[in-house]
């Protein structure tokens, strides 16, 4: 059985804009299965961005459950995330899902994990997946030392991760919000 690997998702907030970017590679073992997957999406009437890393079917199941929570709690991002994290940690079926998610609306970015974590990043930047640490390091440097906007930082950081991580490619999908 192949172990599914890879992806890189990054989310950056700067100057009233929030951008989430993800690569398109789907790998199984040492084989690239697909190069143009879309792992960053708008959900809840396009008012929330979600990006996922991990086993694809697991990620889609979590995405569906998260959107159900958004519907239940009237689009309240934090409440929906906390409720999903509780279910994810305690439900027999959900507990077995191997994925991570970043979710965002124009005001908030959250990292969700199967350990029950709901984390709001300190510096307005978070990344997940096999190339997540590379993208996060590049993104932090760009955020601190460049005059780039949120979208450009997310894209450039993902490009850097793609140059380092074999499970990340340069086929980038980006979604963006403005606080207005």
Tokens for 95?
Answer: 């507990």
Tokens for 5?
Answer: 């690997």
Contacts of 58 (CB under 8 A, 6+ apart): 97, 98, 99
Measured distance CA(119)–CA(101) in Å, rounded:
11
Helices and strands counted in the chain (H then E): 5, 12
∠ CA 83-86-91, nearest 5°, is: 120
DSSP H/E element including 93 = helix 92-95
- The residue annotated as part of the active site, out of 7, 8, 18, 173, is 7
Active site residue 7: yes
Q: Active-site positions?
A: 7
């Amino acid at each position: 059985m192949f172990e599914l690997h890879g992806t890189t998702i990054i989310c950056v907030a700067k100057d009233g804009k929030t951008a989430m970017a993800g690569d398109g590679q789907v790998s199984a073992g040492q084989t690239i299965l697909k190069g143009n997957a879309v792992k960053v999406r708008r959900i809840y009437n396009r008012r929330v961005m979600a990006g996922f890393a991990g086993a694809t079917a697991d990620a889609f199941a979590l995405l569906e459950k998260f959107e159900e929570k958004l519907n239940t709690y009237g689009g309240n991002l934090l409440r929906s995330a906390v409720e999903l994290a509780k279910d994810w940690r305690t439900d027999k079926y959900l507990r077995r899902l191997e994925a991570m998610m970043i979710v965002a609306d124009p005001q908030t970015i959250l990292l969700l994990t199967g350990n029950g974590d709901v984390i709001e990043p300190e510096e307005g930047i978070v990344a997940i997946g096999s190339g997540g640490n590379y993208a996060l390091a590049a993104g932090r440097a760009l955020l601190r030392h460049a005059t780039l906007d949120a979208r450009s930082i997310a894209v450039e950081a993902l490009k850097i991760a793609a140059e380092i991580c074999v499970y990340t490619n340069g086929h980038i999908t980006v979604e963006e919000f403005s606080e207005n």
